[in-house]
C-alpha cells in the first residue's frame, strides 16, 4: 500500500562562490542526517544565479568535498543556471498579476535617496529600498525600457502582502511564526543580469524538487518570511523549516569563506579522515551558545 505521508526530502543548496567550509558542511550534514534518519531523500542544488560571483571550479570542489565527507545525495544535482526559464515563467505569473515592477535605480541613487529621507525603513540587512520606481507610470516604464535602460524587477511587497493575506510557517525550534511579508521591503525578484534572484529561484526549486524540510542557517530566517510569501502567491505548499545556529570562531565571529584553514579541502589535505572532519564539524557546532 502506498504511504500517504510524504517522505522527508531535504536539500543542501550551496552557492559556489568559494570552497566548502566547516560552516556550510554543518548545514549539509544536518540535511543529510535528517533525510537518512527518516529513510527520505537528500538533494543537492547548486545556487549559481549570481553569475558574476559563482565559479564552476567551486561547484566541482564542493561536490567533491561532500562525496569525500560521505554525504551522498539522491538523484542529479540541480544547477540553477540551467533552469532560468523555470524562474522566468513564475516571474511572468507574478508580473501578470501586477505584483512586480521594473526598478531603474543604481545603487548610488538608492543610497542618495535613503540618505535624503528622514525615516528610511530598515530591514534585517539595513535600509530597505525606498520605493522610488514603484510609482512610475506605465508609459514611463515603457519609455525607459525601450530606451534600453538597465533595470531589475522588484516585488511590490504591499500589494503582494494584500494578495497573499496573512500567513504563517513552522520552524522546528521556534514554533509557528507569523509571516512578515514587508520585512525585506520591495526586494529584488529578478536581477539586472538574470530573470531571477536567490529568493525566487530558491522558492521555485524547493517546490519543483518536492522539498519537505528546509534546514539552513538562522541567518536566512528573515528570508524565509518572504519565501513563504512567494509560496502563497505561487500556490505552493510550505515546507517545514529548521534554522540552525551558525558555527562561530573563538571570538564569536561567524565563519566565512575567507577562513581558508577551515575549508574541508584544507582539513582533508592536513590528513584528517572524513569521520574526524564530521566529528569536528559537529563539535564546533556544539560549542555554540
Contact residues for ligand GLU (CB under 6 A)? 13-15, 47, 202, 216, 220
Residue with smaller CB distance to ligand GLU, 63 or 120: 63
**Rounded distance, CA 74 to CA 9, Å?**
10
Contact 30, 62 (CB under 8 A): no
In order of 184, 227, 289, the CA distances from 180 in angstroms are 9, 10, 27
- Shortest reach from residue 62's CB to ligand GLU, in Å: 10
Tell me whether strands 100-103 and 126-127 are parallel, antiparallel or unpaired.
Answer: unpaired
- Shortest reach from residue 45's CB to ligand GLU, in Å: 8
- Shortest reach from residue 148's CB to ligand GLU, in Å: 31
Contact 35, 42 (CB under 8 A): yes
Cell numbers linked to 197: 534572484
- Shortest reach from residue 244's CB to ligand GLU, in Å: 11
Alpha-carbon torsion, ordered 93, 94, 97, 103, to 10 deg: -130
Residue with smaller CB distance to ligand GLU, 55 or 143: 55
Cβ neighbours of residue 78 closer than 8 Å, sequence gap 6 or more: 43, 44, 45, 46, 205, 209
- Shortest reach from residue 251's CB to ligand GLU, in Å: 22
Residue with smaller CB distance to ligand GLU, 14 or 131: 14
Question: Is 260 considered catalytic here?
Answer: no
Cell numbers linked to 252: 564569536
- Shortest reach from residue 129's CB to ligand GLU, in Å: 21
Q: Which of 67, 142, 192, 257 is catalytic?
A: 257
Residue with smaller CB distance to ligand GLU, 47 or 65: 47
Residue with smaller CB distance to ligand GLU, 21 or 216: 216
In the chain, what's the furthest Cα-to-Cα distance? 65
Burial grade of 25 (CB within 10 A; 0-12, 13-18, 19 or more): buried
End-to-end CA distance of the chain: 45
Residue with smaller CB distance to ligand GLU, 15 or 212: 15
**Rounded distance, CA 220 to CA 84, Å?**
23
List active site positions.
257
Amino acid at each position: 500500500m502506498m504511504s500517504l505521508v510524504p517522505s522527508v526530502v531535504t536539500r543542501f543548496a550551496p552557492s559556489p562562490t568559494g570552497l566548502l567550509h566547516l560552516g556550510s558542511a554543518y548545514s549539509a550534514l544536518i540535511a543529510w542526517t535528517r533525510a537518512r534518519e527518516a529513510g527520505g531523500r537528500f538533494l543537492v542544488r547548486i545556487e549559481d544565479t549570481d553569475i558574476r560571483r559563482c565559479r564552476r571550479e567551486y561547484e566541482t570542489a564542493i561536490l567533491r568535498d561532500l562525496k569525500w565527507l560521505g554525504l551522498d545525495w539522491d538523484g542529479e544535482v540541480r544547477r540553477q543556471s540551467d533552469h532560468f526559464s523555470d524562474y522566468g515563467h513564475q516571474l511572468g505569473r507574478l508580473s501578470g498579476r501586477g505584483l512586480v515592477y521594473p526598478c531603474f535605480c543604481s545603487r548610488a541613487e538608492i543610497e542618495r535617496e535613503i540618505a535624503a529621507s528622514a525615516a528610511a525603513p530598515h530591514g534585517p540587512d539595513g535600509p530597505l529600498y525606498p520605493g522610488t520606481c514603484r510609482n512610475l507610470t506605465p508609459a514611463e516604464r515603457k519609455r525607459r525600457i525601450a530606451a534600453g535602460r538597465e533595470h531589475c524587477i522588484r516585488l511590490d511587497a504591499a500589494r503582494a502582502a494584500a494578495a497573499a493575506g496573512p500567513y504563517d510557517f513552522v520552524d522546528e525550534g521556534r514554533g509557528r511564526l507569523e509571516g512578515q511579508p514587508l520585512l525585506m521591503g520591495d526586494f529584488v525578484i529578478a536581477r539586472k543580469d538574470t530573470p531571477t534572484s536567490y529568493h525566487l529561484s530558491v522558492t521555485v526549486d524547493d517546490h519543483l524538487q518536492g522539498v519537505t524540510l528546509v534546514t539552513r542557517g538562522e541567518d536566512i530566517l528573515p528570508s524565509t518570511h518572504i519565501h513563504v510569501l512567494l509560496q502563497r502567491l505561487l500556490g505552493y505548499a510550505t515546507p517545514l523549516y529548521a534554522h540552525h545556529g551558525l558555527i562561530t570562531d573563538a571570538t564569536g565571529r561567524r565563519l566565512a569563506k575567507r577562513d581558508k584553514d577551515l575549508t574541508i579541502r584544507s582539513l582533508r589535505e592536513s590528513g584528517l579522515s572524513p569521520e574526524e572532519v564530521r566529528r569536528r564539524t559537529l563539535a564546533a557546532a556544539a560549542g555554540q551558545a
